[in-house]
Amino acid sequence: MTALDLAFLAASVIAVAGGVLAITTRQVVHAALWLVVSLLGVAGAVLILGAELVALVLLLVYVGAVVVLVLFALMLTRAPIGPDTAHAPGLPRALAAGAVGAAVVTMLLSVLIPLAGGWGATVDRQSADSPRVAREIFTTWVWPFELLSLLLLAALIAALAVSRIQRDAP
C-alpha cells in the first residue's frame, strides 16, 4: 500500500458512501447533496489516477451545472423539508431494486477487476495532462466525440422545439 493507494481508497469510499446515501435517503434534496459528495469522491479518484482535466471538468459540469439544475427543479416542486413518505417504495420494490443493483455491481466488478489487474492491483498513475487528452480526443476518438456533440445539439434543438409548441388555450 502506497500513499497513492490509500488516497485512492479514501476517495472511493467517499464516492460509494455518497452514492449509497443518495439513493437511500428519504429526503429528496439531501439525495441531490449526497450526489455532490459522491461526485467529489469520483473526481478525487480520477485526480489521483493523474487525469486532472477530467476530474476538474467533472466538477465543473456535474456539480456546477447539473446539480444546480436538479436543485432548481426541486425548488419548483413540493419537495418537503423532512422525510418524504408519500413516495416510499415499499419493501418488495426496495428488495427487487436492491437485487438488480447488486447484480449490476457484480457484473461490472467481474469485468472490470481483471481488466484493472486483479484484486491486488495498485494505483498506476498515468500523466494524462490536458494536451494529451486533447490529442486523444481529436485524433483517435474524434468520430465518437463529434457524434456526441451532434447528439447534444439535436437534444438542445428538440428541447427548444418542445418548449415552443403552441398549445390550444383550455
Partner 1 sequence: MTWPEIVLRAVTVLAAFLVLPLLIGQTEHKLMAHMQGRLGPMYAGGFHGWAQLVADGVKFAQKEDILPYAADRRVFRLAPAVALVPYLVALATVPIHPGVAAIDVPASLLLFLAATSVGALGTLMAGWSSGNKYSLLGGLRAAAQLISYELPIVLATASIALAAGSLSLAAITQAWRPLWLLWQLPGALVFLVAAVAELQRPPFDMPVADAELVMGAWTEYSGLRFALFLLAEYAGIVVMSLVFAAMWLGGWHGPLPDTLGWLWTLLKGFAVAVVIIWVRVAWPRLREDHLQRLAWLWLVPLGLAQLFLTGIGVVMGW
Which residues contact partner 1 (rule: CB under 8 A)? 27, 29-30, 33, 36, 52-53, 56-57, 59-60, 63-65, 67-69, 71-72, 74-76, 81-82, 129-130
Q: How far is the CB of 145 from partner 1 (least distance, A)?
A: 17
C-beta of 65: minimal distance to partner 1 in Å? 6
Please give the grid coordinates belonging to residue 140.
483517435
For partner 1, the closer CB: 81 or 116: 81
User: Measured from the CB atom, is 10 or 30 closer to partner 1?
Assistant: 30
- Tell me how far apart the alpha carbons of residues 4 and 25 are, in angstroms, rounded to a whole number: 31
As measured in angstroms, the least distance from the Cβ of 119 to partner 1 is 32
End-to-end CA distance of the chain: 67
Q: Which of 27, 71, 20 is nearest to 41 (CA)?
A: 20
Quick check: 4 and 125 in contact, CB under 8 A? yes
Return the amino acid letter for 125.
Answer: R
- Comparing CB distances to partner 1, the nearer of 106 and 130 is 130
Closest to partner 1 by CB, 8 vs 62, is 62
Q: Tell me the Ramachandran region of residue 134: left when phi exceeds 0, alpha when psi lies from -120 to 50, beta otherwise.
A: alpha
CB of 114 to partner 1, least distance (A): 32
> Cα(46)–Cα(10) distance, rounded to whole angstroms?
12
In the complex, minimum distance from the CB of residue 68 to partner 1, in angstroms, rounded to a whole number? 6
